[in-house]
Amino acid sequence: MGRQTSMRYVKNPPSNFYFPSEKEDPSVDGFVGLTVAEFEAMRLKHFISLNQKESAENMSVSQPTFSRILDKAHQKITQALIEGKDIRVYGGNINLKKGFKGYGCLNCDEEWKDELATKERKVNCPNCDSIKVYYLVREPL
């Protein structure tokens, strides 16, 4: 999992963390929804100021995958700025205080929990069946 011991984590979930009821799409109605992975990518790269390699290692993804996640986050933030929308981070059923282990999908942004998830074990997205799935692990806040 890399340099976990040197990482700092925010103490409390920010108030813009949003937990929609199941299957609700938070991006449609007046605000832009970031996934937990996108939030985490922004935090590692631009708040803690890790370089791209360190950021990717911290999220246990490849650098190209990290780059794609960060790009998506930038696109959404840019959209929010230009269209005057609020930004929320949505986590579905992710309990940030308990941490999270599972996968995320680059194709449809689905994130799901899987206690047996590993970096090596690849699965298809349960939502869109894409194989563009990355391992997602997050320390408890």
Q: Which residues of this protein are in contact with Zn ion, per CB under 5 A?
A: 105, 107-108, 110, 125, 127-128, 130
Task: Give the sign of the dihedral formed by CA 33, CA 67, CA 58, CA 81.
Answer: negative
Least distance to Zn ion from the beta carbon of 124, Å? Answer: 8
Residue 94: HSE in the Cβ half-sphere, 13 Å Cα cutoff: 28
Least distance to Zn ion from the beta carbon of 123, Å? Answer: 11
Least distance to Zn ion from the beta carbon of 114, Å? Answer: 14
Instruction: Indicate the DSSP class of residue 111.
Output: E
Give every CB contact of residue 125 below 8 A, 6+ residues apart in sequence: 103, 105, 107, 108, 110, 131, 132, 133
Residue among 105 and 137 whose Cβ is closer to Zn ion: 105
User: Do 93 and 113 contact (CB within 8 A), yes or no?
Assistant: yes
Q: What share of the chain is helix, strand, coil (3-state, %, to 5)?
A: 30, 20, 50
Residue among 41 and 133 whose Cβ is closer to Zn ion: 133
Residue among 10 and 108 whose Cβ is closer to Zn ion: 108
Least distance to Zn ion from the beta carbon of 98, Å? Answer: 24
Residue among 110 and 114 whose Cβ is closer to Zn ion: 110
